[in-house]
Amino acid sequence: MADEDEEEGWDGWRQQEYGGSPEDDSQGQTKQRLRWSEGNREPQLEDDQMSVDENSVSPTESEEETTLCGASWKKVAIGSLMIAAVCAIVAVILYTEGSRMKRELLSKKVALDYAFHNYNKVSDSMQREIKQTECARYEDTFMNWLQSFCKIINCTSDLCHKYWTPYKGHCYYFSKSILGWKESRQNCILQGAELLVIHSEEEQEFVAGFNLSRAYWIGIKDNPVESSWMWVDGTFLHSDEMFWDQGNPDSYFDYDLEAFKNCVMLRKATWANAVCSSPHYWICKRRSEPIPIKL
């Protein structure tokens, strides 16, 4: 009973407080719960929409990413082209340098072959000259013996070695091989002679009387100290002893051989200056041996 009275009292208080019956209160609570449910649903929808919005990408951001990707590919392409261009330039340089080196090696090979050919030729000439020099030594021995013999028989004459031509107390040797000016002079010295020295017009005419279809070294050379021509016997060339060919002596530098033309050769009946290292024939001159001969 007490409980019923207490419940009736509670219901009466609620009717007074909220102005309705218990049924009305039940309906009100139901509506109140619906309103809270609807109110709670809207924030849930908003949260779901926010999560979707966060996961989605805006068109502006997508365009920016596309632009960045395109710029990166352009940089890669430009870098590749630059590397290819550098490689092409290096290849061209290497090809050009290789071609130049090949030409230089070929040129040096040709020069070496030419030098080797000349070496063999000069070597053969030297062998022949050595044999002739040895023969000249034997002839010297024979002439010394002949001189001694002629002194006993009191004879007079001029004698020259074989292959030598006598003229006015001298003997002249016309070589059969070719050498440079310096080597030619050494060959004459080995035979007790010197390169040809001409001190008169008669001697020039005598030498020119031979069929000189070749060029022969003679014993005259440019003296750089005195700036004049000097004979190997130490005398200077005088104006009345000059038998230069027309236009000689010409330019003192040979651009083909890259050397100065400081030596003189006899060509036919005149002189011409030439590079001393160029190979030519030569003429030696020595005194004949006066032998008294009286039979």
Residue 241's pLDDT is 77
Architecture, CATH, for domain 161-289:
Roll (3.10)
Please check whether residue 196 is in contact with residue 218, taking contact to mean a CB–CB distance below 8 angstroms. Answer: yes
**More confident call, 44 vs 110:** 110
In this prediction, residue 43 has a pLDDT band, given cuts at 50, 70 and 90, of very low
Contacts of 181 (CB under 8 A, 6+ apart): 195, 217, 221, 263, 276, 277, 280, 282
Note the pLDDT of residue 285.
96
pLDDT at 295 > cutoff 80? no
Give residue 264's pLDDT band: very low, low, confident or very high (50, 70, 90). Answer: very high
Q: Per-domain residue ranges for the chain?
A: 161-289
* pTM (2 d.p.): 0.49
